[in-house]
Amino acid sequence: MTPQDTRQYAPATERNREPILEILLQVLPGSGTVLEIASGTGEHAVYFASKLKDSIWLPTDANPQARASIIAWTEHFGCSNIYPPLELDVREPVWSVETETVSQWLNTSPIIAIVNINMIHISPWLACLGLMAGAGRILPVGGILYLYGPFKQGGEHTAPSNAAFDEYLRAQNPEWGVRNLDDVVAAAKAEHLTLKQTYQMPANNLSVVFER
Ligand SMILES: C[S@@+](CC[C@H](N)C(=O)[O-])C[C@H]1O[C@@H](n2cnc3c(N)ncnc32)[C@H](O)[C@@H]1O
């Protein structure tokens, strides 16, 4: 019997992975472990790990089906610089990577950056707050938090397509929605994360880079 293929597909990952990689190559510290929060299908994880050979990629997701997909993509790709996915819900007061066991196996290559793509608008605001709190606890001084997604700027949508997307998200869950960049920056600041740079990305998205 052939094992079930649990790989999931998110078509947007193929469109946005190269522009995101371009930014990651500029902003990530040279080597160390990159903790990916909300890895989803795992397509980004295997792609970025294959391109960032000096780093070790640590994918995570709160959803067990996503973690099964990440495992399947990792097996399919055969990457060596990627850890098995961990269960991690950003709203937890202590993240799985902070437990003694995981901290110990991360000793040789500590977490130097956190990457979070397309999550904070598809989860309650509490998830954004949890993300910032965890990044503030875990990142060393000089560590990087990278966010990607659509954002309002100055309280306004930056494109009609983002406004329509926001409405679509809120119809699915009133706690979801495109976040205002100023609110995200303020939440980060409260956890000692300073906005370093924003980059305009294709399809009216932003890359937002913070430094601990
Ligand atoms: C739209 S998907 C994005 C996945 C992937 N980063 C991508 O760009 O394809 C949102 C992901 O956020 C994860 N997620 C939602 N709430 C979360 C939370 N509180 N903690 C961790 N992950 C969460 C979901 O399980 C899902 O995999």
- Dump pLDDT digits (tens) for 42-63: 999 999 999 999 999 999 999 9
Ligand 1 centre from 39 Cα, in Å? 6
Ligand 1 centre from 166 Cα, in Å? 17
**Residue located nearest, by CA, to atom 21 of ligand 1:** 89
148 Cα nearest atom in ligand 1: 8
User: Residue 211: beta bridge partners?
Assistant: 144, 194
pTM of the model: 0.97
Question: Rounded to the nearest 5°, which phi and psi values hold at 194?
Answer: -105, 135
The verdict on the CB of residue 63 being under 6 Å from ligand 1 is yes
Q: Rg of the Cα trace of the chain?
A: 16
The verdict on the CB of residue 90 being under 6 Å from ligand 1 is yes
Ligand 1 centre from 1 Cα, in Å? 32
Compute the residue count for the chain: 212
All domains of the chain in start order, with CATH: 11-211 (3.40.50.150)
- Dump pLDDT digits (tens) for 54-93: 999 999 999 999 999 999 999 999 889 999 999 999 999 9
Is residue 202 within 8 Å of 159, Cβ to Cβ?
no
